[in-house]
Amino acid sequence: MTEHSTPQELRNRLVDRIVKASLPGLYDARVEDAMRTVPRHDFIPQASLELAYANQAVTIKDNPDPDALPLSCASQPDVVFFMLAQLGIQPGNNILEAGAGTGYNAALMRHLTGPTGNVTTLDYHEDVAAHARQRLDATGFSDVRVLTRDGALGAPEYAPFDRLIATVGVWDLPASWWDQLAVGGRLVLPLRWRGLTRSIAFVREADCLRSESLATCGFLPMIGQDGEREGYVDADHLVKLYWDADQPIHALSLRKSLAEAKEHLLWTNVAVAPDEPLDGIWLRLSAVDPATCRITVRPEAFASAAGLHRPAIPALSPALVEGDSVAYLVLEPVDVQGSKRYRLGAAGYGPAGQELAERLGMQLRAWDDDRTLPPSIIAYPAGTPDEKMASGHVIDKPSGRLVITY
């Protein structure tokens, strides 16, 4: 930033970078115009102009627990961009947002709906909603409705909605959203399952929601959804698992297998470039194997010669867990025609460690056949009979059933 840069200049530079790096198929010229027009810095006045126009999230409500995630953040601008592109707002749309945050996203949506549209935004925290209300009023968006309310309840008094967006991580689709989203409407949300999160654009059909696009993202979880579990495997708190409530996983069951560190190492011929993302592997695993979860391993656990094999991403690696056995993604540097690459494989531990490593390896090879192929995700209301759903891997949650297929 130069000394004399104006907010508009900073905003244009940020949007220029976002557009240049935008994801394939997730560009919308009207969203670009909105982000060049609506002043983000006015919604986070506590931040410097440099921070306001950096491509990063900004905390607006800290958590009193210093070891916990913040309670509310202003989302990273490039994520705001592609989620609004996924939402496909049209003039005159009636829109509901779960997670008011700073009010910035609601202002962008109000800009996009034009004079005949409506935007209602909800936030669980009274002070966050009050901040959004004050900032929207101060920036000329006083007709946006701001309600202090659990986002999972929606706003039935203003339904039906043409568009519904969540700016918090959602583990289970709230039943109220099914009732409040019009058939033909669009729902965009950061959906969480098996330890991963994807921003999914769903189109509402009469009896289901069908995915149209997916993008990698990360969001603070929605308050009140208690479907995710976590637990340390070892007494030293070096190895931790994250899984879903419907999975029969017990972290302590792995303690003996990992302590013995009898490893089954399987390498494939699949190789990636140093900067190539691995998230598609995890996504594919979640679509085919019910044992899929997440493992984190602190460096001390693999620092010694007798320690565990280093996971591909120690803080965020996919794993398969069954009973007292586990396998997770690993990599090693290799030279391919003079270029540095990383060969992918699986490290398995426990009585079924070899079998789990082979299952993971099989999905590595399947991913290698088409690394950009997205899955189809169809959501049905809870209680939908199997015979009325598409075929595929089913993940059941209290308010909905997901069918994931490749």
Q: Within this chain, do residues 130 and 29 fall inside the same structural domain, yes or no?
A: yes
Domain containing 273 equals 228-369
Q: What is the mean pLDDT of residues 9-26?
A: 94
pLDDT digits (tens, 9 = 90+) for 348-374: 999 999 999 999 999 999 999 999 999
Alpha carbons 223 and 69: distance in angstroms, whole number: 12
Q: Within this chain, do residues 94 and 67 fall inside the same structural domain, yes or no?
A: yes
Please report the pLDDT score of residue 1 as a whole number.
47
Q: Within this chain, do residues 180 and 309 fall inside the same structural domain, yes or no?
A: no
Q: Within this chain, do residues 35 and 122 fall inside the same structural domain, yes or no?
A: yes
In a domain, 406, yes or no: no
Q: Are 286 and 275 in contact (CB under 8 A)?
A: no
Q: Which residue's structure tokens are 């969001």?
A: 219
Q: Within this chain, do residues 171 and 290 fall inside the same structural domain, yes or no?
A: no
Q: Within this chain, do residues 135 and 247 fall inside the same structural domain, yes or no?
A: no
Q: Within this chain, do residues 249 and 321 fall inside the same structural domain, yes or no?
A: yes
In a domain, 403, yes or no: no
Q: Within this chain, do residues 201 and 233 fall inside the same structural domain, yes or no?
A: no
Which CA distances in Å does 200 have to 12, 156, 192, 203? 27, 23, 10, 10
Name the catalytic one among 22, 72, 75, 399. Answer: 75
Q: Within this chain, do residues 181 and 263 fall inside the same structural domain, yes or no?
A: no
In a domain, 379, yes or no: no
How many domains does the chain fold into? 2
Please report the pLDDT score of residue 23 as a whole number.
87
Q: Within this chain, do residues 297 and 211 fall inside the same structural domain, yes or no?
A: no
pTM over 0.85? The answer is yes
pLDDT digits (tens, 9 = 90+) for 109-145: 999 999 999 999 999 999 999 999 999 999 999 999 9
Q: Are 327 and 347 in contact (CB under 8 A)?
A: yes
**Residue that terminates a domain, selected from 216, 248, 280:** 216
In a domain, 334, yes or no: yes
In a domain, 359, yes or no: yes
In a domain, 395, yes or no: no
Q: Within this chain, do residues 202 and 253 fall inside the same structural domain, yes or no?
A: no
- Which residues, 6+ apart, have CB-to-CB distance to 299 below 8 Å? 314
Q: Is 75 in the active site?
A: yes
Please report the pLDDT score of residue 72 as a whole number.
61
Q: Within this chain, do residues 186 and 283 fall inside the same structural domain, yes or no?
A: no
